[in-house]
Copies of this chain bind each other. A is one copy, B any other.
Amino acid sequence: MNTELNVSQSLTWRYAARRFSDKKVSQTALEQLLTMTGLSASSYGLQPYKIIVIENPKIKESLLAHSYEQKKVAANSHLLVLAADMSNVVTMVSSYMQSLAKTTGITALQQQAMRENMLASLANMDPEQQFQWASAQVNIALGTLLVSAASLGIDSCPIGGIDGRGYDEVLALPERNLRTVITVPIGYRHEDDVSANATKVRKALHELIVEI
């Protein structure tokens, strides 16, 4: 852990990789990355998403047609697909409350109050609203994932421009009550990736903030 870059260094080091080398991310590093991502903040702590981890080259290749043929979707160490949890929210809340009860000394009365509070705000979402809500949590996790990967020296490239429905079909996600939000190939930058040395283009602070 001592070799991790700090947050500033990680944010400066990272970029959207265009081309990955053949080097594989080790199982240890992958688990570290996913564990860090799992520490992301989420609405009520519910983490309404799953991360699909794809190593199989044939599956990656069958996703190319749904990714505007962007080669990096197939040529990477692992392809991660971040998917919204579309399962029943009441079940989701119950499962969370069980974990919470196991982990903390929360009383039955407190549990009931929390459950009611959560369900009051979440139970009436229609599927599209649930997808938007879960997608927001996915994107917070994505922010965490990108900086976490960089801190471990792992390159990544978030790709929002995909046909999510095509991904769902190839990966049989509806059977698991999941729906694709975004995909992120990870690996190590190819030595010929010209983007690696490009200067970052970012808004100046005065363009980014409004002081009121």
> Which A residues fall within an 8 A CB radius of B?
1, 4-8, 10-12, 14, 16, 31-32, 34-41, 43, 45, 47, 50-56, 59, 96, 99-100, 103-104, 121, 132, 135-137, 139-148, 151, 158, 160-161, 171, 176, 178, 198-203, 205, 208-212
Tell me if A34 and B205 are in contact (CB < 8 A): yes
| Docked pose: A43 CA to B159 CA in angstroms | 9
Chain B's nearest CB lies how many Å from the CB of A209? Answer: 5
For A100, what are the chain B residues with a Cβ–Cβ distance below 8 Å? 201
Min CB gap A185→B, angstroms: 13
Give the contacting residue for A151; candidates B6, B32, B59, B143; CB below 8 A: B6
Asked if residues A205 and B35 are in contact (CB atoms below 8 Å), the reply is yes
| Residues in B neighbouring A151, C-beta threshold 8 A | 6-8
Q: List 18 A-B contacts (CB under 8 A).
A: A1-B6, A6-B6, A6-B151, A8-B36, A8-B148, A11-B39, A12-B39, A34-B208, A35-B205, A38-B203, A103-B201, A104-B199, A135-B136, A140-B142, A140-B158, A142-B143, A144-B146, A171-B212
Candidate in A54, A135, A160 with the most chain B CB atoms within 10 angstroms? A160
**Option from B1, B43, B145, B200 in Cβ contact (under 8 Å) with A160:** B43
Determine the distance from Cα of A59 to Cα of B210 in the docked complex, in whole angstroms.
Answer: 14
Closest to A11 in B: B39
What residues of B have a CB within 8 angstroms of the CB of A10 in the complex? Answer: 7
Q: Are B202 and A47 in contact (CB under 8 A)?
A: yes
B198, B201, B205, B212: which contacts A52 (Cβ < 8 A)? B212
**Known contacts A52-B212, A143-B142; is-contact A202 B8 (Cβ 8 Å):** no
